[in-house]
Structure formats: structure tokens, C-alpha cells
Amino acid sequence: MEHAICVRGLTKRYGDVQAVAGLDLDVEHGEVFAVLGPNGAGKSTTVEILEGYRRRDAGEVTVLGRDPARPTREWRSRIGIVLQSSDDRAELTVRETLRHFATYYANPRDPDELMEQVGLADSAGKRIRQLSGGQRRRVDVALGVIGRPELLFLDEPTTGFDPEARRRFWELIEGLAHDGTTIVLTTHYLEEAETLADRVAVVARGRVVAQGDPATLGGRATARARVAWSDGEIETDTPTEVVLELSRRYDGEIPGLTVTRPTLEDVYLRLIEAEEPSAGSAPETPAEPVESTP
């Protein structure tokens, strides 16, 4: 298979609202791919179509070589899904939960080893309702990977995490990626995308408006640099020359010197603002129940 995921001309409407409007997307095997976009951009609808939980109106989609609109039990066993939130299993312990879900798969990971890998070994005997938010999220991830999926979908995995918990979670995801798992990540945290993703796609108004390496997205790597110092600032294509000139001017040490290029957030906001609808336009994605696919 050339791509883990290949999407061409994907569309989805809810009545008069165009949620996804001819979206194209490729995800390579073994990469971490982040999907960024504001609320209502169409990214959640797109990911649900890729997971096989929402039907599309038009377009071509293959996920691990199969159309997700026609899933099989074998195909589903190759995919892991970590939803944005889950509130069930509250009375089961962590160990009971993982051992129960392991029975659904032909070749599951060992639950005890998995608890160790995700940092839950010390909480194995705790009921799910007794866990912190970060620990519950680790349970969700453990359930997502217990069947040894080739492809893992993570939907806003660190929403509500404190900075320390988020960093620990990133280490977990980096470990999964190192083991060869293809990961599709939706997130509102641009630092998260920059840390974890090999490539990112920015989705706005139902289509991909930019796609690439976080370091070069939207011409970021070749954008003009901003050289600032205590007495002024300038945007330039030749920041080294400017710094050398300032060094001569100040006889060596330049007070308050900073040299920066656009951050991923700068590029993201510029791309999104360029796609903003005119005043009075309808929202991108209305409330809509997820469609189960037989």
C-alpha cells in the first residue's frame, strides 16, 4: 500500500451546510500526522469518516487499503481509536478493564506489560472512577493500542491536562511512533503538533489549506526574520547581516537582541484568517449524531 490513508475529493453535507468540501489528504505508513483547524472546520467529520463511523457523500477514501464505509472485522482490528472523552467502565479496575478488552483481539498486547508501558502499573487495582484525568487518558490510550493496531486515531488526547501530564503523555505517543504505529492526531495545541508530528494539515472550511512539515508549513522556514533589539526592530531576509551591522554599531554586545521567524502559531493563524467566512455565514458543522456503519 502506497499510503496508510488516501483521501481524494471528500465531501459531506448536513442539509444546507457544507462540512467537508472536496478535501484531499495523504498519510504515510509509520508517521505521526496532525490535523489542525478551528472548531467547525470539518476535521472531526473527516476523521470520523476515516474511522468508519460516519458516511461520506462523495469522494474516494482508503484506510489501510480499504474503504472505511465497508469495514470488516479484520480491518477494524488493525485500527485503534482514542476518543476525546469516555465515561464508561467507572466501576472496573484498570486491570479488569484491560484484560476484558484484550479478549476481543486475536493477538493482544499483554495487559500487565501494557499497564507498565503507559505508566499505570501502580494503579492497576484502582477503579476507573478513582483515577485522575491524566490516568484515565492513559487507560484510553492503552485500550486504543491493546489490539496492536497499525493505525491509531487520537482525538484531542491531552485536553484538560496540566503541563506535566501533557509532557508525560507526549513521551508515551513518541514511544508508540518509535515502534512503527501510524498515528493521526487532532489537537488544538500547536506546541503538541510541533513536538509530535512528522507532518501537519491545516483544515479550514472543509478543506486542507496547507500541509507539510511543521518547520516549513506555509513557507515558515523561508519567511522573513524579525530582528529586534532595545532601540528598534526590523524584518529582513538577511538577519545575519543585520546582526553584524548592529554588533559594529554597539561595539559588540547588542542590547535586548532577539532573532525570530514566524512560529507555527503565526502561520496557523494566518492560514485560518485567510479562510474566515464573511459575517453572517452559517456554522461549519452542526450538531449531528455519529452514524454507525454496519
For the stretch 269-279, pLDDT in tens is 888 888 775 43
First to last CA, the chain: 25
pLDDT tier at 65, thresholds 50, 70, 90: very high
Task: Provide the pLDDT for residue 35.
Answer: 94
CA dist 70 and 55 (Å) reads 10
Alpha-carbon gap, residue 102 to 147, rounded angstroms:
7
* Per-residue pLDDT at 4: 96
Cell numbers given for 35: 490535523
* Contact assessment for residue 183 and residue 199, using Cβ atoms and an 8 Å cutoff: no
Query: Which letter does DSSP use for residue 150 in this model?
Result: S
Q: Which domains does the chain have, with CATH numbers?
A: 5-217 (3.40.50.300), 224-260 (no CATH)
pLDDT digits (tens, 9 = 90+) for 192-224: 999 999 999 999 989 999 999 998 887 877 788
Task: Please tell me the total number of residues recorded for the chain in this structure.
Answer: 294
